[in-house]
Amino acid sequence: MKLTLRVWRQRNADADGAMSTYEVDGISSDMSFLEMLDTLNEELILRGEDPVAFDHDCREGICGACSLVINGDAHGPERTTTCQLHMRSFRDGDTIDIEPWRAAAFPVVKDLVVDRSAFDRIIQAGGYVSAPTGSAPEAHATPVPKPDADYAFEHAECIGCGACVAACPNGSAMLFTSAKVNHLNVLPQGAPERETRVLDMVGQMDAEGFGGCTLTGECATACPKGIPLPSIAAMNKEWLRANRKVSRG
């Protein structure tokens, strides 16, 4: 396959960026999207040019490191992560636009790499359970109903890649935050911090400069892990409940 790539190039966080056009040839339809970019970078290095910076780690679709908005879609045309997207989703002669996640809360570090520490700070605000350290507790000491376990697992699938923010016209992090809140709030292990978790995580989410939710549903469509849109309604319910329960001293 021969492709024309239009890639966002930006030297550093403070520099102005622009789309640069590259031609790549000899792309196999079995290559992953990242392998295609590796091919481009090898050529750029041979030519003595600066390779395109992009995030990647496991390349197995489970770490959440890879990003890229491909032809306007977060993670490209298939419902998966960019590393699991294959070049058979494109045709010979295609022009492909590659851009970084765009959000005020995700500043560009270089080229296609953005700083997603805002998500880490949302997790630090409440995305944990207080557990006593020491030996592991007896597994059956805390029974969890099967539907609750399934619900928690569905939300635990979130890998924190940020595609929801990238796809949302408001740059909102509601789907990410709701996945993390619902995952822990439904479980008995998460019960002691049930109210403070949702209040603090939503508070941190707002403090990071993410937009609000207008329920366009773009986030759930882009999510490679299929976190469903009703998760947001479930978090809103938790947030309203917590507001009734917690008195602000």
| Interaction site with other proteins (CB under 8 A) | 6, 8, 19, 69, 71-73, 97, 99, 102-105, 169-172, 195-196, 199-200, 202-203, 205-207, 209-218, 228-230, 232-234, 236-241, 243, 245-249
Q: Least distance to other proteins from the beta carbon of 211, Å? A: 3
Q: Report how far residue 73's alpha carbon sits from residue 222's, in angstroms, rounded to the nearest whole number.
A: 7
Measured from the CB atom, the residue of 29 and 214 that comes closer to other proteins is 214
Q: Which residues in 66-94 are b (16+ Cβ under 10 Å) and which e?
A: bbbbbeebbbbebebbbbbbbbeebeeee
Tell me which DSSP letter residue 134 carries: S
Measured from the CB atom, the residue of 83 and 201 that comes closer to other proteins is 201
Q: How far is CA 84 from the centre of its chain?
A: 14
Measured from the CB atom, the residue of 61 and 213 that comes closer to other proteins is 213
Measured from the CB atom, the residue of 89 and 236 that comes closer to other proteins is 236
Q: Tell me the Cα Rg of the chain.
A: 20
Q: Least distance to other proteins from the beta carbon of 23, Å? A: 18
Q: Report how far residue 99's alpha carbon sits from residue 6's, in angstroms, rounded to the nearest whole number.
A: 8
Q: Least distance to other proteins from the beta carbon of 45, Å? A: 25
